[in-house]
Amino acid sequence: MTNRITVLGSINLDTTYHVNRMPQPGETIAASNKTSAAGGKGANQAVAAARSGASTAFIGMVGGDDAGQFMRTALAENNVDISNVFIQKDIGTGSAAIILNQQGQNSIMVYGGANHEITPATINQPAVIDTIRNSDFLIAQFETPQAATLAAFKIAREHGVKTILNPAPAKEVSAELLAYTDLLVPNETESEALTGITITDAKSLAQTGAHFAHLGVHNLLITLGSKGVYLYQEKQATVLPAYKVQAIDTTGAGDTFIGSMTAQLKPDFFNLEEAVNYGQTASSLAVQGLGAMPSIPTAAQIAVAQAKNLTSTDA
């Protein structure tokens, strides 16, 4: 059965500057190349879900500019329903400036623009409520206002829709929003921002899982980069190893993981470990290409990688 996924989130036009190394404070360096591509954490996650076969809808906002039209077209061409992607004519479309070095590591500066104009009133429109109500999963991040996310999560809970929160970029999260979150997916930095616990070893991972459980989060995935994903549930805690590949560009890897994983996930989370492994395969393919959205793999590409017995040691 095809998962029905709605993503509430950001839409950005990404511009990437390719450099040999990251600049030091106050230093000016030359970029070897400049590229532009569709992006934004929300848009990336929606496209990842759609390319993995999920029926995907989007709730978001763009500006009344060329970038906004470009992004709406990019989502629609990737089979994402843009009926609830609104246009705010007086605000620019969100954008991101990315500095990417030769090792595939990046630094990102984000201009929120129209993404910050999403409010609870946006969410409480009948068409938006219907979209959420008819979903299996609702995904959100922190590049759009938390008040809107809380309003959406409350609607989801009322209709039995599972909620997935990616607390990125790192910032404080309200206890009320966590109470409406069924699955929390931070990375190490975001996890530390929420708990105050620095993840260094198995003990600190266990402390982190217990801390989130105390806050009411009973399904937790912490992405650990090259070390894999920490999965914590009430009866299970384990680290699922990452696939070792040569990364060219890590931009959007976490988004690819979340969208692809959710496309495979059962609403009762029974197959969470299997879905995580699928998402890790997807993100391992994504980091081998340039750009966030352009490098997101399809279900067919992921199936080929899995058929080749892609493992953490021989990829």
Mean confidence (pLDDT) of the chain: 92
pLDDT at residue 315 greater than cutoff 50? no
Helix/strand/coil (H, E, C) string of 184-243?
ECCEHHHHHHHHCCCCCCHHHHHHHHHHHHHCCCCEEEEECHHHCEEEEECCEEEEECCC
CA 276-280-285 angle, to 5 degrees, is 155
Q: How far apart (Å, rounded) are the C-alpha atoms in residues 209 and 200?
A: 13
C-alpha 157/C-alpha 88 separation (Å) is: 28
55 labelled ligand-binding: no
Spatial distance between the Cα atoms of 143 and 145, rounded to a whole number of angstroms: 7
Q: What is the mean pLDDT of residues 161-184?
A: 94
Q: What is the pLDDT of residues 205-220, one digit of tens each?
A: 999 999 999 888 989 9
125: Cβ contacts below 8 Å, ≥ 6 apart: 84
Check whether 310 has a pLDDT greater than 80.
Answer: no
Residues facing residue 45 across a β-bridge: none
Task: Reply yes or no on whether 66 is catalytic.
Answer: no
Q: Is 27 annotated as a binding residue?
A: no
CATH number of the structural domain 4-10+40-90+116-307: 3.40.1190.20
Identify the pLDDT of residue 309: 65
Give residues with Cβ within 8 angstroms of 295, minimum separation 6: 249, 252, 256, 285, 286, 287, 288, 289
Residue 60 annotated as binding site: no
DSSP letter (8 states) at residue 308: T
Q: Is the pLDDT of residue 249 over 90?
A: no
pLDDT band at 270 (very low <50, low <70, confident <90, very high): very high
For range 99-123, the mean pLDDT: 92
Rounding to the nearest 10 degrees, give the CA dihedral for residues 119, 122, 125, 131.
-110
**Residue 245: band (very low, low, confident or very high) from pLDDT cuts 50, 70, 90:** confident
Of the candidates 76, 127, 258, 108, which has an alpha carbon nearest to the alpha carbon of residue 183? 258
> Would the annotation count 291 as a binding residue?
yes
pLDDT of 311: 43
Asked which of 59-63, 82-86, 283-287, 289-293 is least confident by mean pLDDT, the reply is 289-293
Counting residues of the chain whose pLDDT is more than 90, the rounded percentage is 78
| Residue 162 is assigned to a ligand binding site | no
Rounded distance, CA 185 to CA 141, Å? 10
Pick the catalytic residue: 201, 255, 268, 314? 255
Report the chain's terminal Cα–Cα distance, integer Å.
30
Cα gap 247→216, rounded to integer Å = 35
Q: Is 260 annotated as a binding residue?
A: no
Beta strands, E only, the chain: 4-8, 12-18, 33-39, 55-63, 80-88, 94-100, 106-111, 137-141, 162-166, 183-184, 219-223, 229-233, 236-240
Domain ranges of the chain: 4-10+40-90+116-307
pLDDT in tens, 10-60: 999 989 899 999 999 999 999 999 988 888 999 999 999 999 999 999 999
Whether residue 266 is annotated as binding a ligand: the answer is no
Tokens of 290: 């340039």
134 is in an annotated binding site: no
pTM exceeds 0.75, yes or no: yes
